[in-house]
Every structure is written in structure tokens, then in C-alpha cells.
Homo-oligomer: A and B are copies of this chain.
Amino acid sequence: MKLHTFEVVLRLPGWMEDFLSNSKETFSSIEERMQFVITLARMNIEHKTGGPFGAAIFDLKDGRLIAVGVNQVEKINCSIVHAEILAIALAQKKIGHYDLGAKADMSYELVTSTEPCVMCLGAIVWSGVRQVVCAARDEDARAIGFDEGPKPENWAQSLEDRGIAVVKDVLREDAKAVLNDYNKTGGLIYNSRQEQS
């Protein structure tokens, strides 16, 4: 018997509905936006719904929240579902275009609680966002055992070269605290294929 699989649903965890219905709609400063995203990462570990990572897409014109993502790898059983991937996919669905920079007057920002892994770096390039804001650094994720993959050393410059602004270290210590808390509670650190050295 042949059993083919034709679709997979990428979904936010259940608690998100209440959380978002009580959340603000616009976030005027970059720190406010990052604080919101770090809260997503913390909620994800408190609810035990995934890894300690949060991301969101905002409209740079008015700070309006467009879509959110949290790591759902274990929950959905899908290694693709990093916070950034989910936020990008949901934002594109909401906007109705696969390129969030399709028109000159479109200007969207990805805010992520940790610098992107190599997969999410690529996803950022294809997403059409015009700015990426990061809190914890690669080395903060690596310090608790997560792996960022074979990412180019000059990854931030490679985004800048494509007209995507990169803002680093916004509330880095707050995001590091979430990573460290996750580590202390024995959360799963998965890494399919570590470098064999």
C-alpha cells in the first residue's frame, strides 16, 4: 500500500491565541519590539512548547506587529520550524505575497531573539524583509549546545550587501538569560548532525 504525505501544517502553539489577543498592536521602539520577541521565547519554554527562540515580523513604517513565530521543531516534528521560518511564513500569508519587499513602499523587519542559523539566514534573504534585529549572539546559542550550522563568517555583511540592514545586540543579556534558563531546566538541545572533529 502506498501512503503518500501531501501536506504539513506549520502552526503556532495553542497558548499564542490568548497571548496575542492581549498583546499590543504596535511597538514604536526597537527595544519594545525585541522585548516582545524575548517574551515569546520565554513563554515557549514556560509552556514547554519548544526551544527558547522567538521571532516576529513588524511593519517598519508604523511598528505594527504582522506575525510571530516560536520554535516548534519538537511540537510539529519538523526540523524546519525555527521561530524565524514560522514568522516569515505567517507574515507572507497575511500580506499575501512571498516577497515582503515586493513593492517600494513595503518595509518589513524581522526581530529575532537569537542570531539566525544558516537555514534562517537563507530564509531571511528570500523573505524580502529590509531589516533584521537580533538579541543573543551565535556564541550565546553555542554556549548552551545549540548549533548555528555552516554559516558564513561574514553573514551580517552578506545581508547588508543585499540591502538588508542588520542590528545586533539589542537586549542581548535578556535573550541570553532565556537561553540559560532553558539550559538549566534541561530543555532538549537537538542538533542532527554535529561537526565531527
Contacts and interface: CB of A to CB of B under 8 A. Distances in A.
A190 B92 CA distance: 15
A163 interface: yes
B78 A193 contact: no
Contacts of A90: 5-8
Contacts of A126: 79-80, 117, 119, 149, 192
A15 B197 CA distance: 45
Given A93-B5, A152-B150, A195 B161 contact: yes
Contacts of A142: none
A4 to B, nearest CB: 5
A25 B25 CA distance: 50
Contact of A192 (B128, B150, B151, B155): B128
B150 A121 contact: yes
Nearest to A3: B94
A194 interface: yes
Interface of A: 2-12, 16-17, 20-21, 25, 67-68, 73-74, 76-80, 85, 88-94, 96-101, 117-123, 125-128, 147, 149-152, 155, 158-159, 161-164, 190, 192-197
